Amino acid sequence: DQQVKQNSPSLSVQEGRISILNCDYTNSMFDYFLWYKKYPAEGPTFLISISSIKDKNEDGRFTVFLNKSAKHLSLHIVPSQPGDSAVYFCAASATAYTGNQFYFGTGTSLTVIP
């Protein structure tokens, strides 16, 4: 069963606007979350992470929000740039139980239109 879900397979955004990518999870034991970015023919690249003790983490243009009660996290990219066009995966881990196993969503393909 898919414990991490990204229900939007694709998203298109104008350059300069905000991109919001969403992720839902089902396992309440998950306490560490990451976002990865993937370009074609390359491996995923780590983007940003958040621990369950926080509800927000910001790094430059990228901010991740965590809503534990809703089991939902989102990645905001502001302002969006054409180079942000890629597939974005969210991943989660239950660090106290299976700390080295990350469960990935199916990805959202972001296209930033110049």
Partner 1 sequence: GAGVSQTPSNKVTEKGKYVELRCDPISGHTALYWYRQSLGQGPEFLIYFQGTGAADDSGLPNDRFFAVRPEGSVSTLKIQRTERGDSAVYLCASGTSGGAADTQYFGPGTRLTVL
In the complex, minimum distance from the CB of residue 19 to partner 1, in angstroms, rounded to a whole number: 19
Contact between 100 and partner 1 per CB under 8 A? yes
Contact between 107 and partner 1 per CB under 8 A? yes
Length of the chain: 114
At residue 54, the 3 state secondary structure works out as coil
Could you give the CA distance from residue 34 to residue 46 in angstroms, rounded to a whole number? Answer: 8
Q: Are strands 10-14 and 108-113 parallel, antiparallel or unpaired?
A: parallel
Contact between 1 and partner 1 per CB under 8 A? no
At residue 73, the 3 state secondary structure works out as strand
The nearer residue to partner 1, 81 or 98, going by C-beta atoms, is: 98
Could you give the CA distance from residue 33 to residue 94 in angstroms, rounded to a whole number? Answer: 9
- For residues 19-38, which are near partner 1 according to CB under 8 A? 32, 36
Give residues in contact with partner 1 (CB under 8 A): 4, 6, 32, 36, 41-46, 49, 51, 89, 91, 93, 95, 98-107
